[in-house]
Structure 1
């Protein structure tokens, strides 16, 4: 009787657990499901609950997205800005985070954390004034610089605890063999820091890819990014829901693909510095 009661309690707990997980999963994924479904609806069906799941699918929104709104250019702009800003940030942030970790530069680390905590919107007015003075508003170079100001401290913030978790004995052994610190960093530390570097790269790229605030102020007709292009579907008198949903799917799909294929590296990179030694 006791064994039966215990088994029944385990079944009830297991059922409750999975039911809770599925409810939370549905609540989290429903906006994305609604967005994807809405991208195949007509404008008249968009806000009508009668056509929530039952409707005649059409690819009209996607056709107009690339024919009438020239969405290829914003995709290319976002990719260039996100990729270059991430690569340049890595080149500067990896040596900096290694130096902070190995030489115990606590004050520098604190300053970077403060910069990381400052809302990025506070930089926009000074940036716009400076970029206008140097003539780099509506240029890829200007947007890349703006994104790097946020990406740099973010990558350092991720990589410092990762480097701190690596044993110093590796570098000491290399030094005994005559290797310089810089050479040890390039040939020993960086190769075994793959998970942390991949994590920092992905999160930095996703930040740049999704960033709207910098683009709306510092970009223009030439360098319009995807989030700014999507904002163009909203006007004073009307909202093009079909184009808005289709454009949102185009922005979201690459991020989801990257996250699905590289999620194990992201988790490993974020947790690598949690335990030292």
Structure 2
């Protein structure tokens, strides 16, 4: 039996991993240590909440001892490994340990990707389409990148207020990553619908599922795509030449709105996954 805790766990774990991984789009030395400290603290918080949800899913009390001591499943090992590595990575920005910073960053990337893949394994038995053992992890990884692009991109956009002479092309990287991931998500949606048509034992759409699916497509994908084009327009050379600071502030504002549309879309997608047993 699945619950809202499953939805919370999946979305927040993907946000923690995707947001952390996409920090590689910001070259080291471009911004000060405070940016990385802030990002580390944010993704530690999100990862910590995901760990609490992970314990709840395995029917374990959420205590300090269980948080760090419950290692009975590979998924739990990957969760706490990611959390501890990100914790060390964050601390290195106070102690200026550049080699350890690089090692822990890539360690966090690897443990995070493993975590996302393992989190998909416990839901494979409910999926009713061919190739689910590949499609579901790919869907989760794409969702992690999508969530990370808007969230880390939004925080990076705020840093143009701290360092006004930051090159605009680095903010464009996050917006481009948003577009490419949206295209992958749309392709996966079409592919999964094709497989759904070939399946016989599927959960039928009712009014509630139609509403949730409509929110998934119209807000989560179409709405986010619209915000991509608005952000792209804000960051065009003509807009930047007219008022660079104003252009980056406007783009950051639309990325903030994109966080909301992406969150709505991903929550709806995970709800449909658990209720309809289908990747949508």
Normalising by structure 2, what TM-score?
A: 0.30
Higher RCO (Cα < 8 Å, 6 or more apart): 1
Normalising by structure 1, what TM-score?
A: 0.30
